[in-house]
Amino acid sequence: MGQNLLRSARTPYLRVVPQRETAEVQNLPPAHKSRDQKVVLEELESLIGLEKVKDLIYEIYAFAEVQKKREKAGLSAEKVVLHMIFKGNPGTGKTTIARILGRLLYNAGILEKGHVVEVERADLVGEYIGHTAQRTREQIKKAQGGILFIDEAYSLSRGGEKDFGKECIDCIVKAMEDHAKETVFILAGYPAEMEEFLRTNPGLRSRFPIHLEFPDYTVGELTQIAELMLRKREYRLSEDAKSLLEDIIREKKAREIVPSNARMVRNLIEKAIRRQAVRLIRDGAFTKQDLMTITARELLEASIYLV
């Protein structure tokens, strides 16, 4: 990355986002609302994988900072539109990157608030004429000064000619022009579906100057993420469980039709923790070591029961 910021100062991988947090405003705690971009940049740098994504996010941040300094120096400063397309399978960090981006742009003085409003089709598309425009404008208003993050955006164009999804798209496109300087619009979804969606409207692609591809995690990266999730929760693997973890992740990954990436790992770890709790209650073993240790058996049970 641009400055290779403190690679050794690793913070936990990221907050693994639940499968859906719709129409939710991410209100950041006061510590995150301070203008300390170094902390946010370190968090960005600490994410496992996503090297190309991190490079582009840093590039956007650096550009915003330089334009601010040019303006202070009395030079012309460009106001570049930052609307984006995020393409990637579930669990690849799209929402997490959006949240970090909001904080970076807030710290750079580009966004007034830097919050993220997460929505999906159900939050935008109404049931009768005029309802969709009203609902869409309400969400856009909530996002002013921050980011409107539309997950599975391709679903807006899948209802046919009589569907109100087209009305929603038209409303979003207009708002992107009207609020270009104060709000960033991010449309996210599966790679193939997002490409199909962009082809439905010839002028849609050009309105999003930044396209980010979120690759699937490798088995090694998913194993690192699992270990960090455990460390964050103050659990640790027994020796036999350590050697088993990567094999389980490799098998699960190979069986998935659509990779779920960090979501699969989170579900595996949380199931193993619940299986450990059953063992501890059954055995009445509650020493500190007992409370922290996940065994190979619990990982195997979690793997078998995991849907």
Q: What is the pLDDT of residues 288-300, one digit of tens each?
A: 999 999 999 999 9
> How far is the C-alpha of 253 from the C-alpha of 291, rounded, in Å?
29
Does residue 10 have a pLDDT over 70? Answer: no
Task: List phi, psi (to 5°) of 294.
Answer: -105, 125
The two tokens of residue 208 are 């999003």
Q: Determine the pLDDT at residue 28.
A: 47
Over the stretch 121-174, which tens digit does the pLDDT of each residue have? 999 998 877 799 999 999 999 999 999 999 999 999 876 666 788 889 989 999
22 vs 142, residue with greater confidence: 142
Does residue 200 have a pLDDT over 70? Answer: yes
Q: Determine the pLDDT at residue 129.
A: 77
Over the stretch 80-107, which tens digit does the pLDDT of each residue have? 789 999 999 999 999 999 999 999 999 8
Q: Determine the pLDDT at residue 307.
A: 64
Q: Determine the pLDDT at residue 36.
A: 76
CA 167 from centre of chain: 26
Sorted by where each starts, the structural domains of the chain and their CATH numbers stand as 24-214 (3.40.50.300), 219-305 (1.10.8.60)
Q: Which residues of 18-57 are buried (b: 16+ CB within 10 A; e: fewer)?
A: eeebebeebebeeebeeeebeebbbbbbbbbbbeebbebb
Annotate 199-263 with DSSP letters as a single string.
HTSTTTGGG--EEEEEPPPPHHHHHHHHHHHHHHTT-EE-HHHHHHHHHHHHHHHHH-SS--THH
Q: Determine the pLDDT at residue 13.
A: 39
Q: Determine the pLDDT at residue 33.
A: 44
Does residue 27 have a pLDDT over 80? Answer: no
Q: Determine the pLDDT at residue 38.
A: 85
Residue 26 — very low, low, confident or very high, per pLDDT cuts 50/70/90? very low
Single-letter amino acid code for the residue at 193: E
Long-range contacts of 296-299 (CB under 8 A, 24+ apart): 296/238, 296/240, 296/241, 296/244, 298/241, 298/272, 299/237, 299/241, 299/244, 299/245, 299/248, 299/268, 299/272
Residue 24 — very low, low, confident or very high, per pLDDT cuts 50/70/90? very low
Does residue 7 have a pLDDT over 70? Answer: no
What is the average per-residue pLDDT within 163-186?
Answer: 90
